[in-house]
Amino acid sequence: MIFRFYSNTEEGKPRITVVAEHSEGMLKVAVARCSNKDHFIRKKGRMIAEGRLAKDKLFTTVEMESCDIASFVEVAKEVIREVDKLKKVY
């Protein structure tokens, strides 16, 4: 199952898309961050993050026996806090 989460609009902060897939006890997480100069487009952020997930260009992995939506949202919010601190997302 693939999970998707989009950060909220906050003054002066770029929007972030978090995409994850849970399999074999591991949650694989990939992200895409909109530039401050760009207009946020959900579809484009989703495509970039899903492409990174497919190519295994992950931001992080989290060991979880099972993953529901609430668990994913908590992980996604933490990932967004971490991404906000970085200059570049790979």
Question: pLDDT (tens digit, 9 = 90+) per residue, 60-79?
Answer: 999 999 999 999 999 999 99
Residue 29: which domain range? 2-85
* Helix spans in the chain (H): 42-54, 69-85
Q: What is the pLDDT of residue 70?
A: 96
Give per-residue burial for 40-69: e unless 16+ CB within 10 Å, then b: beeeebbebbbebbeeeebbeebeeeebee
pTM over the 0.75 mark: yes
Residue 90 lies in a domain: no
Q: Is pLDDT above 80 for 11? A: no
CA angle 66, 25, 63 (to 5 degrees): 95
Backbone phi, psi, residue 4, to 5°: -135, 145
Residue 6, in any domain of the structure: yes
Q: How many domains does the chain have?
A: 1
